[in-house]
């Protein structure tokens, strides 16, 4: 039974004592006080099916008993000791986590949030390449610190302050909403409705989008002067946006030709969520130079990381690089247990099976209802784009979207919302 402050008291505290820019979902916000696996319970005792997992964060389930037990044991033994000393957990976790990566991606830096991880990745790329310029995609979300707000390309998350210098946001290769379509779905169970008609081997849309990247070297960045290219494997906040098949591979090649590093932001797509692979970049057939991760990594515990190759890490070794909480014994205990659970409960396979089934069923609904413009994603990283008219993809009027959204809440279903026009249903549940 809930015994905490009333809804009215919390509302008052929100209004007067908390960040006023914090948006709340729904007309009358929900107040949760308990969770169990895929379920959330509000303070009135009502149960909800959580299809958003705290924005793609609760991966192996709310209050998973195995994590609770491991954390309890660890907190009784040792909570914190600075990394200037040895403690077993960070060493154990460093090995377990880097085992999940291909090639020489074997050095890990533990931090506390996705923004912090991307910030560090910028520093790393600039220090290694001795170049300054960074390229990111429009509609991307990479964080909210000074530097990462610059990487993020969505005015909803920008303030009227000078944005970090040296960052170029290029045209987004969005298969559904972009100028040139694309063929990302050719090898997946569904076809996107506005895909172009060319073949996977020779996708013209991919080539046109890559031309945009080439233009950067003509007009903005000196040839050979790139520090890094950043991309999410599937855009998350941007509305589960996928790229034309072959685009990321082509971008990787161009980035290499211009002396830059390829940085994969796996904050949403990592840890098995996309089903076929453990990391999203694997679906694109590339091996990035730097990978950033957070969210699912700690199942809700503040835990994030940057993984790279030893020679890149070495470029940061000229000064002291230090992080007080990064890799503390509690965070590492949670991280190790998350990996154990994903393996023991075969959750990556679960993402593939349930996600593919979900996509196929949603595709059937799309055929029946013109309000569904696009159904997309991979595994349990899914998006449903709602439109007024599926011929021209005009975004669903926000009042209609909100009405639908409130209804799902009344039905006991928690789903996310996103995309540039706020008209995409985001489905990223705990992967149990």
- Least distance from ligand PMP to the Cβ atom of residue 144, Å: 6
Which residue is closest to ligand PMP by CB?
114
- Please identify, among the stretches 107-115, 276-284, 369-377, 421-429, the one whose residues bind ligand PMP according to the rule CB under 6 A: 107-115
- For the chain, percent helix, then strand, then coil, each to nearest 5? 35, 20, 45
Under DSSP, is residue 169 helix (H, G, I), strand (E, B) or coil?
strand
Please, which residue, 22 or 411, has the CB nearer to ligand PMP? Answer: 22
Torsion of CA 207, 208, 214, 215, to 10 degrees: 170
Please, which residue, 119 or 390, has the CB nearer to ligand PMP? Answer: 119
Does 237 sit near ligand PMP (CB under 6 A)?
Answer: yes
Alpha-carbon distance values, 312 to 229, 241, 270 (Å): 15, 30, 21
Please, which residue, 232 or 385, has the CB nearer to ligand PMP? Answer: 232
Show the site string, 143-182: x = touches ligand PMP by CB under 6 A, - = not: x---------------------------------------
Residue 354: in which H helix or E strand, if any?
A: helix 347-368
Number of residues located near ligand PMP, criterion CB under 6 A: 14
Contact criterion met (CB below 8 Å) for 137 and 235: yes
Please, which residue, 142 or 309, has the CB nearer to ligand PMP? Answer: 142
59, 131, 183, 268: which one contacts ligand PMP (CB under 6 A)? 268
- Please identify, among the stretches 8-16, 135-143, 192-200, 319-327, the one whose residues bind ligand PMP according to the rule CB under 6 A: 135-143
Structure tokens at 205: 């849309």
Does 272 sit near ligand PMP (CB under 6 A)?
Answer: no
Does 142 sit near ligand PMP (CB under 6 A)?
Answer: yes
Residue 222: in which H helix or E strand, if any?
A: none
Does 378 sit near ligand PMP (CB under 6 A)?
Answer: no
Does 377 sit near ligand PMP (CB under 6 A)?
Answer: no
Smallest CA-to-CA distance from 244 within 306, 172, 314, 296 is with 172
52, 109, 141, 279: which one contacts ligand PMP (CB under 6 A)? 141
Contact criterion met (CB below 8 Å) for 410 and 398: no
- Least distance from ligand PMP to the Cβ atom of residue 236, Å: 4
Q: At what angle do helices 329-344 and 65-77 cross, to 10 degrees?
A: 150
Does 335 sit near ligand PMP (CB under 6 A)?
Answer: no
Does 236 sit near ligand PMP (CB under 6 A)?
Answer: yes
Residue 334: in which H helix or E strand, if any?
A: helix 329-344
Q: d(Cα 363, Cα 344) in Å, to the nearest integer? A: 31
Contacts 24+ apart (CB under 8 A), 88-96: 89/329, 89/332, 89/333, 89/336, 90/327, 90/328, 90/329, 90/332, 92/332, 92/336, 93/327, 93/332, 93/335, 93/336, 94/327, 96/335, 96/336, 96/339
Structure tokens at 201: 């081997």
Does 139 sit near ligand PMP (CB under 6 A)?
Answer: no
- Least distance from ligand PMP to the Cβ atom of residue 116, Å: 7
Q: At what angle do helices 329-344 and 347-368 cross, to 10 degrees?
A: 70
Does 267 sit near ligand PMP (CB under 6 A)?
Answer: yes
- Least distance from ligand PMP to the Cβ atom of residue 121, Å: 10
Residue 106: in which H helix or E strand, if any?
A: none
Under DSSP, is residue 321 helix (H, G, I), strand (E, B) or coil?
coil
Q: d(Cα 24, Cα 28) in Å, to the nearest integer? A: 9
Provide φ and ψ at 291, rounded to 5°.
-125, 135
Please, which residue, 118 or 127, has the CB nearer to ligand PMP? Answer: 118
Q: d(Cα 101, Cα 67) in Å, to the nearest integer? A: 23
Please, which residue, 115 or 212, has the CB nearer to ligand PMP? Answer: 115
- Please identify, among the stretches 112-120, 188-196, 248-256, 321-329, the one whose residues bind ligand PMP according to the rule CB under 6 A: 112-120
- Least distance from ligand PMP to the Cβ atom of residue 375, Å: 21
- Please identify, among the stretches 96-104, 170-178, 205-213, 261-269, the one whose residues bind ligand PMP according to the rule CB under 6 A: 261-269
Residues numbered 279 to 298 that lie near ligand PMP (CB under 6 A) are 294
Please, which residue, 161 or 411, has the CB nearer to ligand PMP? Answer: 161
- Please identify, among the stretches 114-122, 183-191, 315-323, 399-407, the one whose residues bind ligand PMP according to the rule CB under 6 A: 114-122
Q: d(Cα 208, Cα 200) in Å, to the nearest integer? A: 14
- Least distance from ligand PMP to the Cβ atom of residue 152, Å: 8
- Least distance from ligand PMP to the Cβ atom of residue 326, Å: 13
List contacts with ligand PMP (CB under 6 A).
Answer: 113-115, 118, 141-143, 232, 236-237, 265, 267-268, 294
């Amino acid at each position: 039974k809930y015994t905490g402050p009333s809804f009215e008291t919390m509302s008052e505290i929100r209004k007067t004592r908390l960040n006023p820019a914090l948006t709340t979902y729904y007309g009358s916000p929900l107040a949760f006080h308990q969770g169990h696996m895929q379920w959330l319970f509000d303070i009135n005792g009502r149960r909800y099916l959580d299809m958003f997992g705290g924005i793609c964060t609760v991966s192996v389930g709310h209050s998973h008993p195995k994590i609770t037990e491991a954390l309890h044991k660890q907190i009784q033994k040792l909570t914190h000791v600075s990394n200037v000393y040895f403690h077993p957990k960070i060493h154990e976790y460093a090995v377990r986590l880097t085992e999940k990566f291909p090639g020489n991606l074997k050095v890990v830096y533990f931090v506390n949030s996705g923004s912090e991880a991307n910030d560090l990745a910028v520093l790393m790329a600039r220090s290694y390449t001795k170049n300054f310029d960074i390229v990111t995609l429009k509609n991307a979300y990479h964080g909210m610190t000074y530097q990462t707000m610059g990487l993020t390309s969505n005015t909803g998350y920008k303030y009227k302050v000078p944005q970090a210098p040296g960052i170029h946001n290029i045209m987004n290769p969005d298969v559904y909403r972009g100028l040139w379509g694309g063929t990302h779905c050719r090898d997946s169970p569904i076809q996107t409705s506005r895909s172009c008609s060319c073949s996977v081997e020779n996708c013209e849309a991919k080539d046109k989008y890559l031309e945009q990247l080439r233009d950067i070297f003509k007009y903005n960045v000196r040839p050979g002067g790139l520090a890094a290219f950043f991309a999410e494997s599937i855009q998350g906040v941007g509305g589960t946006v996928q790229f034309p098949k072959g685009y990321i591979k082509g971008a990787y090649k161009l980035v290499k030709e211009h002396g830059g590093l390829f940085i994969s932001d796996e904050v949403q797509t990592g840890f098995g969520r996309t089903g076929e692979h453990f990391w999203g970049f694997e679906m694109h057939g590339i091996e990035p130079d730097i990978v950033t991760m957070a969210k699912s990594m700690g199942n809700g515990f503040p835990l994030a990381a940057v993984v790279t190759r030893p020679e890149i890490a070495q470029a940061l070794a000229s000064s002291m690089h230090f992080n007080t909480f990064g890799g503390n014994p509690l965070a590492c205990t949670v991280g190790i247990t998350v990996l154990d659970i994903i393996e023991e409960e075969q959750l990556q396979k679960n993402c593939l099976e349930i996600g593919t089934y979900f996509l196929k069923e949603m595709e059937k609904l799309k055929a029946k209802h013109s309000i569904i413009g696009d159904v997309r994603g991979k595994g349990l990283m899914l998006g449903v784009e709602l439109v007024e008219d599926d011929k021209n993809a005009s975004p669903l009027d926000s009042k209609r979207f909100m009405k639908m959204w409130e209804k799902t809440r009344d039905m006991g279903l928690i789903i996310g919302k996103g995309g540039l026009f706020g008209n995409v249903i985001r489905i990223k549940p705990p992967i149990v």
